[in-house]
A and B are shown apart, each in its own frame.
Chain A
């Protein structure tokens, strides 16, 4: 169950960044190729409207940001100021870290709730009730739509409650794991996939070789 959620999260953000890149690429290519005087093709290209590309790209990235932030909690990518905390006595440090995680749970939880209220009042209430054929109170109105794509804004904005609640859940997970094992997920900003293994071997070899030969005079300009 948890595994599916993990994968879903990864797939969503992977897809969103890839798709957004392609959307903008296609829109730019379209803009310039529509200027080429090729009969037939030109008319067809001019007929296509790509004006929605920017808007779609923005929404994709906002969704990516919200879900990616949740994924980031799980992988420990969010950076904090740990200069003080890491130097505190052990028991204090644990309390401080737990406090930090609690702050995360609290903030994302509150934002999730505020977001839900906002989305509900801006169209979801109307959409759900009219779909179900329920009587609507007078002060409930159909929410606004986005300028280019003309999607209901509440659908687009639901990234806030969904992403924030997911993030809150991830903070709880991380907090619980820390409480039990004392370990935090840690993202190594200095690590790059695929490069490290090669380098590790290379540089040790190189250092050994250097150590061996450092007192040779054979043309090496090392420290003598």
Chain B
């Protein structure tokens, strides 16, 4: 039920049989581990049929309750409603709506102009401008693919025109798009906060410095590559030029103040800030930049609604799933097991990274977070890891997951824009994964980068 990737080789019957047998053996082995094993074996088996993740989650819960437990199944239907009856979760549809208003041209175009006026005169100016523009756009939008679309669809053609190889452009923009979920606002962070009961505001603030650091890292790498390969520079923009482009993009940039300022000052709750930014983004694109007409509004609303509904549906079923896990005491057992192993903080974090990176290859970020966060969170608390640090770390992992095949939303989007095949796009992004991995290590083992600002502001 999702993207059909035609480029993968088909298995022969023999190979397929072997693989299936191996899988069945794995499931059986898992089930021996007790109730927790059975639940996960069910989940994996259902997911591998290509069933939507949300349905697999729900169905594995139902099956388990029906065959292996005494919890009344009636509780399930109730949970499907109450599971998302939280005002915090409602920030997600609002951020999606705001993002959809913003991707339609106007705001992104002006941000790109401003960004290239700032850094365009250096080596690889347009590419550097792309990174800065991604960072700026990330500060008003909460989604990575949206950032790639908004910036990439305008900038990539321009880069190719200037003589950059398409692959380089795709790599830069596809990777920088990841800033979308690291620099606040961020849909992924809202999901983490909701599933672990952390503070959305603190997480958002915590994302700022790691986000800027990543932008800086990407800028440096891009500049070094551009210098070595002698990519073109743009003429240096005069101060007046910078001021003009800044003035033109100010309407979009003001959204940063609405969201971050609004939440930090306590004027709005995160959900209210999200709703305000949706209204504001609609206002800017309708009235000020006029890249949308009144007749486009229903279309934008409908596509945002269906995207949000899909996420909310995964969330409801994931809530159901974690409810089952908790009632079967799975997180507690896992935590106890981990302590009995005597796992240290360092090895635990390595384990978390490997787990999430592996999962990032098969699932999209919100599902991964919703399934793993309730399990990893209690263990991390036991080891004294800060919940905010864990949130930032998981977000960075999700970012890498978005540029690794076979399931990487940024890759799909980038290949959609550039018309490069998925394999080509993957190859284009591959060197950047290395950069991201180094960056991940820094974020993992230097918690101060994520924690300094929130601790300073929320004293």
| Contacting pair A103 B49 (CB below 8 A) | yes
Interface residue ranges of B287-312 to A (CB < 8 Å) = 297-299, 301-310, 312
| Contacting pair A103 B10 (CB below 8 A) | no
| Contacting pair A10 B232 (CB below 8 A) | no
Chain B contact residues: over half helix, strand or loop, or mixed?
A: helix
| Contacting pair B10 A78 (CB below 8 A) | no
- CB of B76 within 8 Å of the partner chain: yes
- Cβ of A90 to closest chain B Cβ, rounded Å: 8
| Contacting pair A13 B306 (CB below 8 A) | yes
Chain A residues with Cβ below 8 Å from B275 are 20-21, 24-25, 28
Chain B residues with Cβ below 8 Å from A124 are none
- Cβ of A206 to closest chain B Cβ, rounded Å: 4
| Contacting pair A206 B160 (CB below 8 A) | yes
| Contacting pair B16 A92 (CB below 8 A) | yes
Chain B residues with Cβ below 8 Å from A115 are 77, 80
Within 8 Å by CB of A80, from B50, B156, B301, B304, lies B50
| Contacting pair A78 B301 (CB below 8 A) | no
- CB of B409 within 8 Å of the partner chain: yes
- The stretch of B161-169, B181-189, B200-208, B238-246 in contact with A is B161-169
The residue of chain A having its C-beta at the shortest distance from the C-beta of B78 within the complex is A118
Interface residue ranges of B5-39 to A (CB < 8 Å) = 5, 8-13, 16, 19
| Contacting pair B16 A89 (CB below 8 A) | yes
- CB of A48 within 8 Å of the partner chain: no
- Cβ of B420 to closest chain A Cβ, rounded Å: 10
| Contacting pair B308 A84 (CB below 8 A) | no
The residue of chain B having its C-beta at the shortest distance from the C-beta of A24 within the complex is B275
Interface residues on B, range: 35 or more
Given known A-B contacts A107-B59, A115-B77, A192-B103, A78 and B3 have beta carbons under 8 A apart: no
Within 8 Å by CB of B49, from A27, A85, A202, lies A85
- Cβ of B423 to closest chain A Cβ, rounded Å: 14
- Cβ of B285 to closest chain A Cβ, rounded Å: 12
| Contacting pair A189 B77 (CB below 8 A) | no
- CB of B221 within 8 Å of the partner chain: no
Given known A-B contacts A79-B310, A106-B59, A221-B163, A65 and B316 have beta carbons under 8 A apart: yes
Chain B residues with Cβ below 8 Å from A166 are none
Within 8 Å by CB of A77, from B16, B81, B298, B310, lies B310
**18 residue pairs from A and B, CB less than 8 Å apart:** A13-B306, A20-B93, A25-B279, A61-B312, A67-B309, A71-B306, A72-B306, A79-B364, A80-B52, A83-B361, A99-B49, A104-B52, A192-B149, A192-B153, A193-B303, A195-B103, A199-B156, A206-B157
Q: A21-B275, A199-B157, A206-B158 are in contact. List 19 more A-B contacts (CB 8 A).
A: A21-B94, A28-B268, A32-B267, A58-B86, A65-B308, A69-B54, A76-B2, A79-B310, A80-B1, A81-B53, A81-B407, A82-B2, A89-B16, A96-B49, A111-B76, A187-B2, A189-B413, A210-B163, A220-B162
Q: Which 4 A-B pairs have the closest CB atoms?
A: A68-B309, A190-B416, A222-B163, A78-B52
